[in-house]
């Protein structure tokens, strides 16, 4: 990995971690897109998981007093069930499916959630959220928008939302790293050194994002989350359709 690519990776990690530190997602979508340009699909998903573990882990730590461990436990149970099922089916990802699936995710944040009455604070809803998020995390590499629809209209403080989602995503990213470990092991040692150097920068970005989060109102937080994720995912749809056509 050249010096230019290393610097680019470091800047990308910082900015995407900052974005996720503010909105709890979106940054991961951008980071995965960049990694897909540089690496094979399975390897990119695994590397994405490693970097996101650092970013989400630091975000969960900075906001640890706000984590709802009851919700977290149920979500993780659903996630584990999905991962075991996909492992049993010997699932293999496809770049076209991954791109289009991620591109379609923003539809979820525009659903009339108030009519669906989705609420992560309800045990049954948290389990369903974990099942869906687990399938998407392992299947296509990200699940932030899916988790968001169970939180965005829940009567919870934004800091509690960010903290609980960060802890959930920490565990989900760790799961996909294990799932794709064989693909990740093919990455040259020099590239892993570069990733190891860039990953801690995620903590700085997360910290900066956490400062911005404290200044946002709950209303602005929800509005900006929708529009940012929608814009990012439009890029994925275009990319997926181009690969399908050519």
For residue 86, pLDDT beyond 90: yes
Q: Is the pTM of this model over 0.85?
A: no
For residue 100, pLDDT beyond 80: yes
**How does pLDDT run across 165-202, given as a tens digit for each residue?**
889 989 999 999 999 988 878 778 777 877 777 778 87
| Residues 90-94: contacts with CB under 8 Å, at least 24 apart | 91/138, 91/139, 92/42, 93/41, 93/42, 93/45, 93/139, 93/140, 93/141, 94/41
Which burial class, exposed, middle or buried, applies to 219 when counting CB atoms under 10 A from its CB (0-12, 13-18, 19+)?
exposed
In whole angstroms, what is the distance from residue 159 CA to residue 6 CA? 32
In whole angstroms, what is the distance from residue 204 CA to residue 70 CA? 29
For residue 24, pLDDT beyond 70: no
pLDDT score for 82: 95
Average pLDDT over the chain reads 82
Structure letter (DSSP) for residue 25: S
User: Whole-angstrom distance between the N-terminal and C-terminal Cα of the chain?
Assistant: 28
**How does pLDDT run across 60-83, given as a tens digit for each residue?**
888 899 999 999 999 999 999 999
pLDDT score for 32: 87
């Amino acid at each position: 990995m050249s010096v230019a690519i290393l610097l680019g990776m470091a800047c990308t990690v910082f900015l995407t971690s900052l974005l996720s530190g503010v909105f709890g997602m979106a940054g991961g979508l951008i980071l995965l897109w960049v990694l897909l340009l540089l690496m094979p699909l399975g390897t990119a998903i695994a590397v994405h998981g490693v970097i996101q573990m650092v970013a989400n882990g630091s975000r969960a730590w900075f906001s640890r007093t706000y984590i709802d461990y009851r919700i977290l436990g149920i979500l993780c149970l659903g996630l584990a069930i999905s991962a075991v099922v996909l492992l049993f089916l010997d699932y293999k990802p496809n770049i076209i499916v991954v791109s289009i699936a991620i591109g379609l995710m923003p539809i979820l944040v525009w659903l009339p959630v108030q009519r669906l009455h989705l609420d992560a604070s309800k045990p049954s809803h948290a389990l369903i959220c974990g099942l869906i998020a687990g399938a998407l995390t392992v299947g296509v590499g990200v699940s932030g928008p899916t988790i968001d629809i169970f939180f965005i209209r829940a009567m919870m403080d934004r800091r509690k939302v960010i903290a609980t989602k960060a802890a959930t995503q920490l565990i989900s990213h760790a799961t996909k790293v294990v799932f794709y470990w064989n693909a990740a092991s093919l990455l040259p040692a020099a590239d892993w050194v570069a990733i190891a150097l860039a990953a801690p920068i995620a903590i700085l970005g997360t910290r900066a994002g956490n400062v911005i989060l404290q200044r946002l109102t709950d209303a602005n937080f929800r509005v900006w989350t929708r529009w940012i994720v929608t814009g990012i995912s439009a890029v994925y749809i275009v990319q997926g359709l181009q690969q399908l056509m050519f």
